[in-house]
Structure 1
Amino acid sequence: MNKSSRLLLLSIALGGLTTGCTDEAQTKAQLDKYAATQAEKAEPKPMSIEEMEAHSAGGMQHSMPVSADGQMQHVMPAEPAGTHQSGMAEIGRRADDLPAPLNRTQAQRVSVDLYTDEIVAEIMPGVSYEYWTYNGKVPGPFIRARAGDQVEIHLSHGKPNVAGAAHSEHASGQHAAAGHSAHSIDLHAVVGPGGGAPLMQVEQGEAKSFSFKATHPGIYVYHCASPHVPTHIANGMYGMILVEPEQGLAKVDREFYVMQGDFYTSGNYGDKGLQAFSKEKMLAEKPEYFLFNGRVNSLSGDRALKAKVGEKIRLFVGVGSHIAANFHIIGGIFDSLYQYGAIMNPPLKNVQTTVIAPGSAVMIEFTAEVPGTYLLVDHSLTRAIDKGALAELIIEGPAQPALYKPIGQ
């Protein structure tokens, strides 16, 4: 490793020990200025959805495997950016927003386009927060490759082809003060220094690329690794990458993508208005919110996970930020649990709850047997009941009285 690479790795590591440019007071001042600017723009008319989307729209990555004859297959985004009734961007990624299982036997080149974006969005109704994102959603896009593939990661700081609109309210110095003058990516599926991060420190307006060979099948986390690293992660810069084995995965009927994150706001859970990031709470590991896919109720109601009786379901569940999860489905038992992302190992059978470490992931498979609404929770239940770590799985189909019924009716 050359001297500059060593210095870069050292600066990334030391980012966790220094206050750097993420001081809470500076962050709050930037958010207050942003809110005031938006309020001024809203008079005499509110900002249109189109204007908001110019600042904050995001979608899936373009995953472009190249066939043996050189043809590049372009997979378009699965979900366009949505909005809340408030007009703010929808920050949460849907659980079914992931690429289909691979259906090929040869290694190929897979190209993944990512961009970074800072977006003010609702963390719950009436409560907004500035998220830092990959492709405008939390978590970032689900990346899918096969063992033996050559994977190319292309990362731009800011949404491409928007002529700087994503940063129109910030000068470069303000970006530095807010702590996001640079972004990067560290993929746990990469065998190489920093998981790619030393090669991918992308300054405002820049774009960089690197490639790696996917050699180890598994389900892995990726995240930003620019100083101050914990802050970038806590603000939403994480996602997952699946490296399928050469023979592929067994067929299932449904796949879902769920990531738990902890969020640190200056106000208490539910306090209204634009909330600043609290570095003090993060350092004390006292989050106000534990969330699946970016916000309260991101995976509930019309965004719930849905399946039918008799269908086999596969869940990819990870922890993007700093505190381990205790993942459980109330009323469900995991037929097969692949711990630590080790999908090549024999699974554990008939598991009730699993601990998922920060920066780790699991693969869960089970069959939907009885119709109804099931709750996905962190079984440290104050996190689910009082801090947001709650989602719904709706199973539709005929009743199964042989398995589940009341007595005396």
Structure 2
Amino acid sequence: LDVIATGTVHSHDSDSASGPSNGLPALPTMAELSANPGEQFVPWDAALDPAPEETVHHVSLEVEEVEKEVAPGRTQTVWTFNGQTPGPVLRGKVGDRFVVELTNNGSMGHSIDFHAGDISPDEPMRTIEPGESLTYEFTANRSGIWMYHCSTSPMSVHIANGMYGAVIIDPPGLEPVDEEYVLIQGEQYWSSDLTEGTDADAVAYGTPSAVTFNGYPFQYDHEPLSAQAGDRVRMWVLDAGPNLPLSFHVVGTQFDTVWSEGDYLIDHSEDSGSQTLGLLAAQGGFVEFSPHQAGSYTIVNHAMSNAERGAHGKLVVVDN
């Protein structure tokens, strides 16, 4: 990747794809998005722990509006669950119960919607004002990697400004692997007003400034994921949107197991494989593969314009 020193993000000239014809600011370049992060950058930890043994999960989520670096040279106010984007990953098994306490420490109304629960939305998904709390309880009746997100209107803007996360409910009989990661695709739509963060018009037009895995463009190029040759690797993948699809691919590998939206498309096959896991917004699944040789394996959204906007990383494999 071509990179430049960290600094203020500069736009293309005025005739770029999102230029004055629709009144939106021009987009940052790939070189700007893949530049070195700021000194305070800490990669979002994509490594997953196994599901805990307990069957009742008590979770505290706090809405926080924080100023943080979202891309090289781009610091803005984002809306978060527990100060991070994506929010915390929750994990359990079919039949587990989740008791979630949501507290709104922000300056405006916010809410939460767990796709992992099938319950009436009227009360638990209601918008709460600053200083208020609510309790959201659900039983995980079905396996999946389920999105959760703020559902306050305009929902697209709340998601794009950082309010999304994942609940992983293991399918029965899921076997342990050597390395297990989660990658959540999200989109950023920058406003010229850093206190607003997200440009609602850009969201409506579907012209993202950046597309990320786990909240920061190209972060796993700067801090690659790791494995050893011959390891069995599982990658859970969720497309948090709010708009764009995800064609998940790891260059140099073939997936021998693909699990998508609750079902195995391929299950530990020796003679057939898959090159991508295709997901629409709010869909998820996992893939498994075993890299046989040491090397640097590139992780991409194979809708290549989205990879070039930041949905891109590396898995570095070393000899064991």
- TM category (shorter chain) comes to 0.7 to 0.9
CA 276–243 in structure 1, closer or farther in 2 if over 3 Å, else same: closer
Q: Name the SS for the 1:323 alignment partner.
A: coil
| Structure with the largest fraction of helix | 1
Q: Which residue of 2 aligns with 1:93?
A: 44
CA 360–206 in structure 1, closer or farther in 2 if over 3 Å, else same: same
Q: Which residue of 2 aligns with 1:296?
A: 217
Structure 2 residue corresponding to 1:235, chosen from 161, 175, 180: 161
CA 235–199 in structure 1, closer or farther in 2 if over 3 Å, else same: closer
Q: Which residue of 1 aligns with 2:274?
A: 351
Structure 2 counterpart of 1:252, one-letter code: V
Matched, 1:184 2:111: yes
Structure 1 residue corresponding to 2:249, chosen from 321, 328, 331: 328
Q: Is the 8 A contact 1:115 1:157 kept in 2?
A: yes
Structure 1 counterpart of 2:110, one-letter code: H
CA 133–345 in structure 1, closer or farther in 2 if over 3 Å, else same: same
| Distance (whole Å) between structure 2 residues aligned to residue 319 and residue 189 of structure 1 | 15
| Distance (whole Å) between structure 2 residues aligned to residue 313 and residue 332 of structure 1 | 11
Q: Which residue of 2 aligns with 1:155?
A: 102
CA 234–310 in structure 1, closer or farther in 2 if over 3 Å, else same: same
Q: Is the 8 A contact 1:197 1:225 kept in 2?
A: no
CA 309–275 in structure 1, closer or farther in 2 if over 3 Å, else same: farther
CA 251–151 in structure 1, closer or farther in 2 if over 3 Å, else same: same
Matched, 1:390 2:278: no
Matched, 1:209 2:121: no
Structure 1 counterpart of 2:311, one-letter code: A
| Distance (whole Å) between structure 2 residues aligned to residue 199 and residue 397 of structure 1 | 48
Deviation at 1:93, TM superposition (A): 2.2
Q: Is the 8 A contact 2:124 2:136 kept in 1?
A: no
| Distance (whole Å) between structure 2 residues aligned to residue 235 and residue 122 of structure 1 | 12
Q: Name the SS for the 1:283 alignment partner.
A: helix
Deviation at 1:328, TM superposition (A): 1.1
Please show how residues 14-163 of structure 1 align to structure 2 within 5 Å.
Answer: 85-87=38-40, 90=42, 93-96=44-47, 98-102=48-52, 104=53, 108-158=55-105
Matched, 1:222 2:142: no
Deviation at 1:111, TM superposition (A): 1.1
| Distance (whole Å) between structure 1 residues aligned to residue 123 and residue 86 of structure 2 | 18
CA 191–111 in structure 1, closer or farther in 2 if over 3 Å, else same: same
Deviation at 1:193, TM superposition (A): 2.2
Q: Which residue of 2 aligns with 1:252?
A: 177
| Distance (whole Å) between structure 2 residues aligned to residue 368 and residue 137 of structure 1 | 31
Q: Deviations over 1:77-112 (max 9, x none)?
A: xxxxxxx7555x75x52211x33234x5xx721111
Q: Deviations over 1:125-151 (max 9, x none)?
A: 212222211111111111111111121
| Distance (whole Å) between structure 2 residues aligned to residue 130 and residue 188 of structure 1 | 26
Q: Which residue of 2 aligns with 1:365?
A: 288
| Distance (whole Å) between structure 1 residues aligned to residue 232 and residue 246 of structure 2 | 24
Deviation at 1:344, TM superposition (A): 6.3
Deviation at 1:280, TM superposition (A): 0.8
Q: Name the SS for the 1:299 alignment partner.
A: helix
CA 388–214 in structure 1, closer or farther in 2 if over 3 Å, else same: same
| Structure with the largest fraction of strand | 2
| Distance (whole Å) between structure 1 residues aligned to residue 98 and residue 239 of structure 2 | 23
Structure 2 counterpart of 1:153, one-letter code: V
Deviation at 1:218, TM superposition (A): 1.8
The number of aligned residues is 280
Q: Name the SS for the 1:202 alignment partner.
A: coil
Q: Which structure is larger by alpha-carbon Rg, 1 or 2?
A: 1
Q: Give % identity.
A: 29
Structure 1 counterpart of 2:317, one-letter code: I
Deviation at 1:375, TM superposition (A): 0.9
Name the TM-score, length of structure 1 as normaliser: 0.63
Structure 1 counterpart of 2:88, one-letter code: P
CA 393–346 in structure 1, closer or farther in 2 if over 3 Å, else same: closer
Deviation at 1:298, TM superposition (A): 2.1
Name the TM-score, length of structure 2 as normaliser: 0.80
Q: Name the SS for the 1:382 alignment partner.
A: helix
Q: Name the SS for the 1:183 alignment partner.
A: coil
Matched, 1:284 2:205: yes
Deviation at 1:182, TM superposition (A): 1.6
Q: Is the 8 A contact 2:294 2:318 kept in 1?
A: yes
Q: Is the 8 A contact 1:128 1:274 kept in 2?
A: no
Q: Deviations over 1:168-188 (max 9, x none)?
A: xxxxxxx3xxxxx12221111
Q: Deviations over 1:338-374 (max 9, x none)?
A: 112x156764851112221101111111112111111
CA 243–94 in structure 1, closer or farther in 2 if over 3 Å, else same: same
